[in-house]
Chains A and B, each alone.
Chain A
Amino acid sequence: MMRKRSQIGFISAVVAAGMAVTGCGGSQTTGGTEGASDASGSTKIVIATQSPLSGSQSVVGDAIKTGAEYAVNLQKEEFKKLGFDLQLSPQDDQADPKQGVANAEMLLSNPDVLGVVGHYNTGVAIPSSVKYEEGKLVMVSPANTGVKLTEEGKKVVHRICARDDSQGPKAAIYAKEKLGVKKVFIVHDKTAYGQGITDQVKAQFEKDGVEIVGYEGITQGEKDYSAVLNQVISKSPDMLYFGGIYSEAGILVKQAREKGFKGVFMGGDGIDSSELAKIAGDAVEGVVFTSIAGDVTQTAEGKKWADAYEKSMGKKPETFSVYGYDAAGVLLEGIKEAIKANGGKKPSREQVLEAVHKTKDYQGQFTKVTFDEKGDNQFADVFIYKFGKDKSEFVGKVE
């Protein structure tokens, strides 16, 4: 009997140890955050990126980083003329809120860091932005669509892309009017992003009288979604709408088709990646998605940019590369303005924040940027794409 009791005690110790291990992942705290004031006389100016560079979302995270890196490379000379050494500090937030916050603290402790391009996940951006706000470190997001991010009233938060409350309803309207959907099953991945966008889609479908036959969540990182899909099949909807990221979407659409699902599969900008086709295989054909990121190669000028990017960075741009590039562009423009306002001297974080916040009619490579009071971009659009055999094709802008 004694033996058994010690076994149970051991198991609970194991569980506790496991929790402690996962819990400590991001407790890399650094001391004071007074780096906000410009005390150092150094001529170094650092902008950071925060995006998932490892893990299942790293393809997009890397696109954001590389886009920003390209922008920094192009402007290095210009900053040298102003007397500054411009550098990029890419951080891996691992799509993990704890890691994002730990990185944010690390960035704050370095007084040379004047701005952040990031994040990819709204769930990571929100807690990290609390830290940025403490240190008055300006953040320009290339890809966060979660409504809450800019609604919390943090001054440092800006984004150049559209929000879920424009993406979601527009997706629902498109589905009803252009795809003729009457019955829809909605699945989300339980993250701030996934559930955020599906809530918006659901509200619009309800308003338009489209029947919602199911609303379920799945767990990120799992590979078997047959439980939810059996429900979907039994309800035979015209459309399966998924709010989440491509790594889950690929498996979901593949398993849905294997089970004989015939309707349309639709998602948000989270499934906007060439990886979807690799994961889903043949099942990817016909997948429709909205994206807050347009296709830069639609114009001749954009094609030229994409070619130059590929030559310089050694890889083809992903959809989000140009957003990383434009977000970094907005940030660098703000820093230059702040330098000018500061009489050619290195500006403080507050000054950069002021300058970025005032951005008006900035023409990026792809999108035009004017920030409103909350930090949202007034020129942000929503686009529709459809997958062919192996890659997505641009369908158009949703009006």
Chain B
Amino acid sequence: MLSMLPQVLVDGLTLGFMYAVVALGYTMVYGILEFINFAHGDLFMVGAFVGTEVLLTFEALGTLEGMNPFVAFFITLIVAMAITGALGVGIERVAYRPLRGAPRLVPLISAIGVSFLLQDLVRFSEAIYRNEFYLNSPQLFTGSLELGFATVPQKAIMVMVIAIVLMIVLTLFVNKTKWGIAMRAVAQDQSTASLMTINVDKVIMLTFLIGSSLGGATGVLFAQNYGTIDPYIGFILGLKAFTAAVLGGIGNLRGAMVGGVIIGLLESLSGAYMGPLTNGAFGAEYKDVFAFSILILVLLFKPEGLFGEAVKEKV
């Protein structure tokens, strides 16, 4: 039974890194606006569709064959990030900014509305364009690394590498650049920041741009890793990424990353071991129950989340 442990850990990490990057988007917006952007999961879904459409277009043009898979992958990633980033900024402008002074539940409901809108827009346009809204992404990386104790597919390595790179770049950006400092300032106190000649609207736009393009990039990773996408993938994944953000302490970047990896690992471990350990009484179908019970326990004893204490760090 222990022989499958390395494989379980590899699968859990792959999933966890994806949760982590999506969780970053939730946590960034929350850090600045104290508002949960429930449409974020659907931006992730749009990213998956944009990426897949780019690859399908390459395939239809016949250029995918001769292309270096890394080049194709990065083009896809850039296009998806650009489009979802722009979409995120547009959504903020249209659906959230006019509601900024309103009670907290109002923008939240607006976000839920945007979420439905994105799902159905994608479903609708894909149904017209391709006559189906299930897309199967061309696979760029099909090989896998045999380690003896576990098989690591190349695409899983890509997921982890890209996720780590994105997280490092984001951390550097927030901590070292002028815009990053401005973001942290707005997160701490909007009105004081605006007195220090910081353009608050621009900073918020930037936050949405970065958060949404991170979500879009994860969408591409997801489509590469699992091959099949539909307009509803954003819901469950978004919910789990949100959970990861809360587990790590919402508003905290490091917390989102750690929370994502923990949720991914917990899911994978409980899915693989709960059945055998409880002799079939609680099978893999209870893996989410288990992961969420851990969340409840953490929140009971540490309501601010694992990393929530460092208020200064939050963005």
Contact = CB atoms under 8 A, between A and B. Distances in A.
A289 to B, nearest CB: 19
A196 B255 CA distance: 41
A373 to B, nearest CB: 36
Contacts of A219: 236, 285, 288
A278 B134 contact: yes
B232 interface: yes
Interface stretch (B81-89, B103-111, B199-207): B103-111
Interface in B280-305: 280, 283-285, 287-288, 299, 303-304
A124 B253 CA distance: 42
Nearest to B288: A219
Given A233-B4, A259-B151, 7 more contacts: A10-B34, A215-B283, A216-B275, A223-B228, A227-B11, A227-B287, A278-B134
Contacts of A214: 275
A75 B267 CA distance: 54
Interface residues of A, number: 44
A177 interface: no
Interface in A231-245: 231, 233-234
B93 interface: no
14 contacts: A13-B104, A216-B284, A218-B285, A221-B232, A224-B11, A224-B15, A224-B226, A226-B8, A227-B284, A227-B287, A230-B268, A231-B275, A279-B136, A279-B227
Mostly, the B contact residues are helix
Contact of A21 (B112, B153, B236): B112
Contact of B232 (A56, A250, A278): A56
Nearest to B242: A14
Nearest to B222: A223
Contacts of B250: 7, 11
A4 interface: yes
B68 interface: no
Contact of B236 (A55, A217, A222, A275): A222
Contacts, number: 120
Contact of B108 (A17, A215, A216, A223): A17
B168 interface: no
Interface string B96-128: 000000001100110010000000000100000
B92 interface: no
B294 to A, nearest CB: 15
Nearest to A234: B4
B272 interface: yes
Among A227, A228, A259, find the residue whose CB has the most chain B CB atoms closer than 10 A. A227
Contacts of A222: 236
B227 A254 contact: yes
Contact of B226 (A7, A59, A223, A259): A223
Interface string B186-220: 00000000000000000000000000000000000
Interface of B: 1, 3-4, 7-8, 11-12, 15, 34, 36, 38, 104-105, 108-109, 112, 123, 132, 134, 136, 151, 153, 222, 226-230, 232-233, 235-236, 246, 250, 267-272, 275-276, 280, 283-285, 287-288, 299, 303-304, 308
A231 B272 contact: yes
Contacts of B228: 223, 250-251, 254, 279
Contact of A281 (B136, B235, B267, B304): B136
A275 to B, nearest CB: 7
B226 A251 contact: yes
Contacts of A279: 134, 136, 227-228
Given A234-B4, A281-B136, A226 B105 contact: no
A195 to B, nearest CB: 9
A29 B105 CA distance: 26
Contact of A56 (B230, B267, B270): B230
A199 B267 CA distance: 25
A10 B36 CA distance: 10
Interface in A111-162: none
B134 A231 contact: no
Contacts of A221: 232-233, 235-236
A216 B280 CA distance: 8
A14 B36 contact: yes
Given A223-B228, A275-B134, A17 B105 contact: yes
Contacts of B267: 227
A258 interface: yes
B285 A217 contact: yes
A14 B134 contact: no
A237 B235 CA distance: 33
A278 B228 CA distance: 9
B289 to A, nearest CB: 11
Contacts of A230: 4, 7-8, 11, 268, 271-272
Given A17-B108, A230-B8, A11 B151 contact: no
A55 B226 CA distance: 19
B30 to A, nearest CB: 9
A233 B151 CA distance: 12
B227 A281 contact: yes
Nearest to A222: B236
